[in-house]
Amino acid sequence: MKRDINQEKRRSRLRRHERVRKQVHGTAARPRLCVFRSLNHIYAQIIDDDSGRTLAAASSLKLELAPVPAPAEKASETAEKPEKGEKGKGGKGDKGGKKPAPPASLKMRRSSAVGKAIAVAAIEKGIKAVAFDRGGYLYHGRVAALAKAAREAGLEF
């Protein structure tokens, strides 16, 4: 039963990918940046569809990521709480500082790293503009993180 569901999900993604590929075509001047997402890793290739060649590739399999620093301890959990009606630390109306953002998940950090790596590899080969192929996935989460990191590293799409 579960296997049938997974096969159907894969078939659906491949149908969506075919619809996307009708619109997105890589040329020598503007090759296609294709994304594949597996359960734990993410892969990106820059492809010239006219000649059928992969010009650059990057994946999270070979990347070394810096360890995430441990989250800071909660500041003085035993601190006195203000009584009702008093405005104090953390009370209503208190415009205290922002909470630090939680560290990004490992998969999201991998996606950003692959986006930067593919952009660096493309720019080294003289590729500045690409057509983004999301591979039948929603432009959301890890796929969007890869695209954002590639844009920040200098690719245009």
Domain that residue 13 falls in:
2-64+102-152
The answer to whether residue 146 is domain-embedded is yes
| Residues 124-148: tens digit of each pLDDT | 999 999 999 999 999 999 999 999 9
Total tally of structural domains belonging to the chain: 1
The answer to whether residue 93 is domain-embedded is no
Query: Cβ atoms within 10 A of the Cβ of 43, count?
Result: 18
> Residue 151, class by beta-carbon neighbours within 10 Å (0-12 exposed, 13-18 middle, 19+ buried)?
middle
| Residues 3-26: tens digit of each pLDDT | 789 999 999 999 999 999 999 999
The answer to whether residue 81 is domain-embedded is no
Q: Are 145 and 112 in contact (CB under 8 A)?
A: yes
The answer to whether residue 92 is domain-embedded is no
The CATH number for 122's domain is: 3.30.420.100
> Residue 120, class by beta-carbon neighbours within 10 Å (0-12 exposed, 13-18 middle, 19+ buried)?
middle
- Tell me the C-alpha distance between 58 and 42, whole Å: 9
- Tell me the C-alpha distance between 87 and 9, whole Å: 53
Q: Which amino acid is at 90?
A: G
